[in-house]
């Protein structure tokens, strides 16, 4: 849907973009189709779409032959979608959940959890609202996935990749352990309505074959919470007090006492956490 068309459609329904819900709609149909192509969506794929809005991305996903579960928190947009996409809903190619996609950490909405168990290894494709992007990405780590392609604010793509020191945190470590992550197409503010202040980019996540076993993830999340709790402080002295067994693993790995948590590379973190799992901490 083009900008003018979407503006008129929402106005007719008495709706307006809600900043709080990160409603920056992508209003370039060619770009939306390109995103679906670049996500590698094929006919028959099960796809989770978060925040379908007025269906801008949902339509090309359905055109590609995907079976889509779309989760929309805004009741006004959900009811508009039920009208606009009545045919695929009736045919069962599209299912719509009205509610918050996030459940209590690290769960998703209960209906998403049930669907996930049925379809086993879905793709996740979305133009994500800024407010939930971090928690949503963190929840994907450790999930059985075919892949994910997510449009995010550039700053979050940087934090997900964790290449620079200032971007490196628990999110980058979690994603590094679960996926091969790469940045895709970059999009300027002009292709959205309303225009955000910043650039956006696509983050592609491909599952690693050597990802951690499912039962290890709760422990890894816990260790990372402790390790990054005070990012400006030296890591080892603090861990010696708060998590002595983990401190011992760091010592054995030769981590210098003066380092802060973000000064360890993603590979360093991977080595340490794998060792902690092997040792049964
Ligand atoms: N997919 C549309 C597009 O590409 O134009 C809209 C994307 S817009 C950036 C984000 C969408 O996510 C909005 O429709 C918003 O209402 C929805 N949303 C925000 N928070 C949500 C949440 N916690 N759970 C589900 N949907 C959410």
Return the sign of the alpha-carbon dihedral for residues 54, 60, 63, 68: negative
Q: Ligand 1 within 6 A of 200 CB?
A: no
Pair of tokens at residue 153: 């604010």
Q: Ligand 1 within 6 A of 56 CB?
A: yes
Q: Which atom of ligand 1 is nearest to the CA of 51?
A: 12
Q: Could you report the per-residue pLDDT of 240-263, keeping only the tens digit for each? A: 999 999 999 999 999 999 999 999
Q: Ligand 1 within 6 A of 57 CB?
A: yes
Return the sign of the alpha-carbon dihedral for residues 41, 42, 43, 47: negative
Q: What percent of the chain is modeled with pLDDT above 90?
A: 97
Q: Ligand 1 within 6 A of 25 CB?
A: yes
**Distance, CA of 228 to chain centre:** 20
CA of 237 to the centre of ligand 1 (A): 42
Q: How far apart are CA 212 and CA 271, in angstroms?
A: 12
Residue 211: predicted pLDDT: 86
Q: What is the mean pLDDT of the chain?
A: 96
1 pLDDT above the threshold of 90: no
Pair of tokens at residue 136: 């949503």
Tell me the average pLDDT across 176-200: 97
Q: Whose CA is nearest to atom 10 of ligand 1?
A: 129
Q: Could you report the per-residue pLDDT of 135-180, keeping only the tens digit for each? A: 999 999 999 999 999 999 999 999 999 999 999 999 999 999 999 9
Within 8 A by CB and 6+ apart from 150, the residues are 124, 125, 126, 127, 128, 133, 137, 202, 203, 205
Confidence of residue 96 (pLDDT cuts 50, 70, 90): very high
Question: What domains are there in the chain, each with its CATH number?
Answer: 3-207 (3.40.50.150), 214-278 (1.10.8.100)
**Contact (CB, 8 A) for 179 and 138:** no
Give the orientation angle of helix 217-227 with respect to helix 235-242, to 10 degrees: 120
pTM: 0.96
Q: How far apart are CA 120 and CA 67, in angstroms?
A: 13
Q: Ligand 1 within 6 A of 27 CB?
A: no
Q: Ligand 1 within 6 A of 88 CB?
A: no
Confidence of residue 227 (pLDDT cuts 50, 70, 90): very high
Confidence of residue 62 (pLDDT cuts 50, 70, 90): very high
CA-based R_g, the chain, Å:
20
CA of 104 to the centre of ligand 1 (A): 19
Q: Could you report the per-residue pLDDT of 12-32, keeping only the tens digit for each? A: 999 999 999 999 999 999 999
Q: Ligand 1 within 6 A of 55 CB?
A: no
């Amino acid at each position: 849907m083009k900008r003018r068309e979407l503006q008129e459609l929402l106005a007719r329904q008495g709706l307006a973009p809600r900043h709080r819900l990160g409603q920056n709609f992508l209003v370039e149909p060619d770009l939306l189709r390109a995103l679906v192509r670049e996500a590698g969506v094929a006919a028959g794929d099960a796809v989770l779409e978060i925040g379908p809005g007025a269906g801008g991305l949902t339509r090309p996903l359905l055109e590609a032959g995907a079976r889509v579960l779309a989760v929309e928190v805004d009741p006004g947009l959900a009811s508009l979608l039920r009208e606009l996409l009545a045919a695929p809903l009736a045919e069962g190619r599209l299912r719509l959940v009205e509610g918050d996609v996030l459940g209590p950490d690290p769960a998703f909405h209960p209906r998403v959890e049930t669907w996930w168990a049925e379809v086993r290894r879905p793709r996740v494709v979305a133009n994500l609202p800024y407010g939930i992007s971090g928690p949503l990405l963190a929840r994907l780590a450790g999930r059985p996935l075919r892949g994910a392609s997510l449009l995010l604010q550039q700053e979050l793509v940087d934090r997900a990749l964790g290449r620079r020191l200032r971007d490196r945190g628990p999110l980058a470590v979690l994603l590094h352990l679960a996926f091969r992550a790469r940045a895709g197409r970059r999009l300027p503010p002009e292709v959205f309505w309303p225009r955000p202040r910043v650039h956006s980019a696509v983050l592609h996540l491909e599952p690693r074959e050597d990802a951690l076993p499912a039962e290890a993830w709760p422990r890894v999340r816990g260790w990372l919470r402790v390790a990054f709790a005070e990012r400006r402080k030296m890591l080892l002295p603090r861990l010696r007090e708060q998590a002595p067994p983990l401190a011992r693993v760091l010592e054995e790995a030769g981590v210098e006492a003066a380092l802060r948590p973000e000064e360890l590379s993603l590979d360093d973190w991977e080595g340490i956490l794998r060792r902690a799992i092997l040792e049964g901490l």
